[in-house]
Chains A and B, each alone.
Chain A
Amino acid sequence: MISAQLPILQVLLPLLAAPLCAILRGRALPHALSVGTVLLSLLVTVGLLIRVESTGTISYAIGGWPPPIGIEYRVDQLSVIVLLIIQGVAAAVLVGGGASIVREIEATRAPLFYALFLLNLTGLTGMVLTGDLFNLFVFLEISSLSTYVLVALGTDRRALLAAYQYLVIGTVGATFYVIGVGLLYMMTGTLNMADLADRVAGVEESTTIRTAFAFMIIGIGVKLGMMPVHFWLPNAYARAPSVVSAFLAATSTKVAVYIMLRVVFEIFGVPMFLATHLSEIIIGLGILAMVVASVTAIFQDDVKRLLAYSSLAQIGYILFAFGLATEPGVTASVLHLFNHGLMKGALFLALAAVALRAGRTRRTDLDGLGQAMPLTMLGFTLAGLSLIGVPGTVGFISKWYLLEAAFDRDGFIIAAIILGSSLLAILYVWPLVERAYFRKRDPALPPVEEAPLPMLIGIWLLVGANLLFGVWPDLATGLAERSALLLLGGAR
Chain B
Amino acid sequence: MLGLLPPGLILIAAAALLPFTSGRLRDTVLLAAPLLAIAQVMALPAGASLTLDWLGEELVPLRVDAISRLFGLIFSIMGFLGALFALRQQRLAELVAAFLYAGSAIGVAFAGDLLTVFVYWELMAVASALIVWSGGMAGSFGAAMRYIFVHFLGGVLLMAGIIWHIVEGGGTGFGLIGLAHPSGWLILAGFLINAGAWPLSSWVGDAYPEASYSGTVFLSAFTTKTAVYVLWRAFPGTELLIVVGLIMVFYGIIYALLENDMRRILAYSIVNQVGFMVTGIGIGTEMALNGAASHAFAHIIYKALLLMAAGSVLLQTGRRRCSELGGLFQSMPVTTLCAIVGALAISAFPLTSGFVSKSMISDAAAHEHLGLAWFLLTAASAGVFLHAGIKFPWFVFFQKDSGLRPPDPPWHMKAAMILAAILCVGIGVYPAPLYALLPFEVEFAPYTAEHVIEMLELLLFAGLAFFVLLPLMKRTRTISLDTDFLWRRVGPALWRLGLALLTAAGALGGRLLTSAGRLGSSVSGRVVGPQGLFALTLETGLTILVLTIALAAALWFTLGPDLMAAMGGG
Q: How far is the CB of A281 from chain B (nearest CB, A)?
A: 6
Q: Is the beta-carbon distance between B558 and A276 smaller than 8 angstroms?
A: yes
Bound form: Cα–Cα A235–B561 in Å: 38
CB within 8 Å of B: which A394-450 residues:
396-397, 399-400, 403-404, 407-408, 412, 415-416, 419-420, 422-423, 426-427, 430-431, 434, 438
List chain B residues, Cβ under 8 A from A420. Answer: 156
Quick check: is A61 within 8 A (CB to CB) of the other chain?
no
Number of interface residues of B (CB under 8 A): 53
Interface string of B272-292 (1 = CB under 8 A from A): 000000000000000000000
Residue A473 lies at the interface, judged by CB distance under 8 Å to chain B? yes
Contact B550 A296 (CB under 8 A): no
Of the stretches A24-32, A52-60, A189-197, A212-220, the one at the interface is A212-220
Which residue of chain A has its CB nearest to the CB of B121? A391
Give Cα A423–Cα B148 distance, bound, in whole angstroms: 10
Chain B: minimal CB distance from A247 (Å): 22
Residue B532 lies at the interface, judged by CB distance under 8 Å to chain A: yes
In the complex where A211-B558, A214-B558, A400-B163 touch, is A229 in contact with B530 (Cβ < 8 A)? no
Chain A's nearest CB lies how many Å from the CB of B183? 9
Minimum CB–CB distance from B568 to chain A (whole Å) comes to: 15
Stretch binding the partner chain, chosen from B337-345, B449-457, B462-470, B538-546:
B538-546
Chain B residues, Cβ within 8 Å of A408: 167
CB-contact partner of B156 in A213, A423, A438, under 8 A = A423
B126:A385 contact, CB within 8 angstroms: yes
Q: How many A residues are at the interface, by size bracket?
A: 35 or more
Known: A231-B537, A403-B163, A423-B153. A299 touches B547 (CB 8 A): no
Chain A residues contacting B546 (CB-CB under 8 Å) are 228-229, 231
A215, A281, A391, most chain B CB atoms within 10 A: A391
With contacts A169-B540, A295-B520, A388-B152 taken as known, whether A473 is within 8 angstroms of B558 at the C-beta atoms is: no
Residue A137 CB within 8 A of the other chain: no
User: Closest residue to B512 on the A side, CB-wise?
Assistant: A427
Find out whether the CB atom of A229 lies under 8 angstroms from the CB atom of B550: yes
Nearest-CB residue, chain B, relative to A222: B547
Q: How many angstroms between the C-alpha atoms of A309 and B528 in the bound complex?
A: 11
Q: Which A residues from 248 to 278 make CB contacts under 8 A with B?
A: 276-278
B551: Cβ under 8 A from any A Cβ: yes
- A392 close to B (CB within 8 Å): yes
User: Contact flags (1/0) for B307-349 with A, using CB distance below 8 Å?
Assistant: 0000000000000000000000000000000000000000000
CB pair B156–A407 under 8 Å, yes or no, is no
Given contacts A234-B535, A388-B152, contact A218 B540 (CB under 8 A): no
Is A296 a contact partner of B149 (Cβ separation < 8 A)? no
Interface status of A8 (Cβ within 8 A of chain B)? no
Partner of A278, one of B167, B528, B544, B557: B557
Residues of A within 8 A of B540 (CB): 164-165, 168-169
* B72-103 with Cβ < 8 A to chain A: none
Whether a CB of chain B sits under 8 angstroms from the CB of A477 is yes
Nearest neighbor of B122 in chain A, beta-carbon distance: A391
Whether, in the assembled complex, A138 has its beta carbon less than 8 Å from a beta carbon of chain B, the answer is: no
Q: A168-B544, A391-B122 are in contact. Are A477 and B537 (CB under 8 A)?
A: no
Give the residue of A172, A391, A416 whose beta carbon is less than 8 angstroms from that of B119. A391
Within 8 Å by CB of A176, from B126, B159, B513, B551, lies: B551
B498-556 at interface with A (beta carbon < 8 Å): 512-513, 516-517, 520, 524-525, 527-530, 532, 534-538, 540, 543-544, 546-547, 550-551, 554-555
Nearest CB in chain A: distance from B194 CB, A: 15
A388 to B155, CA, bound (A): 12
Given known contacts A169-B540, A473-B55, A211 and B148 CB-to-CB distance under 8 angstroms: no
Q: Is the CB of A276 within 8 A of B543?
A: no
Quick check: A404 and B167 within 8 Å, CB to CB? Answer: yes
**Residue on B nearest A426 in the bound complex, by CB:** B152
Asked whether A232 is an interface residue with its Cβ less than 8 Å from the other chain, the reply is yes
Residues on B with C-beta less than 8 A from A415 are 160, 163-164
**In the assembled complex, how far is the CB of residue A424 from the closest CB belonging to chain B, in whole angstroms?**
9
Whether the pair A301, B557 counts as a contact (CB closer than 8 A) is no
Given contacts A214-B555, A293-B534, contact A390 B148 (CB under 8 A): no
* B513 and A427 form a contact (CB under 8 A): yes
Contact A404 B163, CB 8 Å, known A164-B540, A176-B551, A292-B528:
yes
Residue of B nearest to A288 (CB): B534
For the complex formed, measure the closest distance between the CB of A171 and the CB atoms of chain B, giving whole angstroms. 10
Q: How far is the CA of A295 from the CA of B513 in the complex (A)?
A: 11
Tell whether B562 is near chain A: CB-to-CB under 8 Å. yes
* A131 interfacial contact with B, CB 8 Å: no
Q: Say yes or no: is A221 at the interface (Cβ < 8 Å to chain B).
A: yes
Can you sample 25 A-B contacts with CB below 8 Å? A168-B540, A211-B559, A214-B557, A215-B554, A221-B550, A278-B554, A278-B558, A295-B520, A295-B524, A296-B529, A296-B535, A299-B529, A299-B530, A299-B535, A300-B535, A309-B535, A391-B122, A392-B119, A392-B123, A404-B166, A408-B167, A412-B164, A415-B160, A419-B160, A423-B149
Residues of B near any A CB (own CB < 8 A): 55-56, 118-119, 122-123, 126, 133, 141, 145, 148-149, 152-153, 156-157, 159-160, 163-164, 166-168, 512-513, 516-517, 520, 524-525, 527-530, 532, 534-538, 540, 543-544, 546-547, 550-551, 554-555, 557-559, 562
- Can you name 7 extra interface pairs (CB under 8 A) apart from A217-B554, A400-B159, A423-B153? A173-B547, A207-B559, A218-B554, A232-B543, A295-B524, A299-B520, A407-B167
- Shortest 6 CB-CB distances between A and B: which pairs? A214-B554, A391-B119, A210-B558, A419-B156, A407-B167, A295-B528
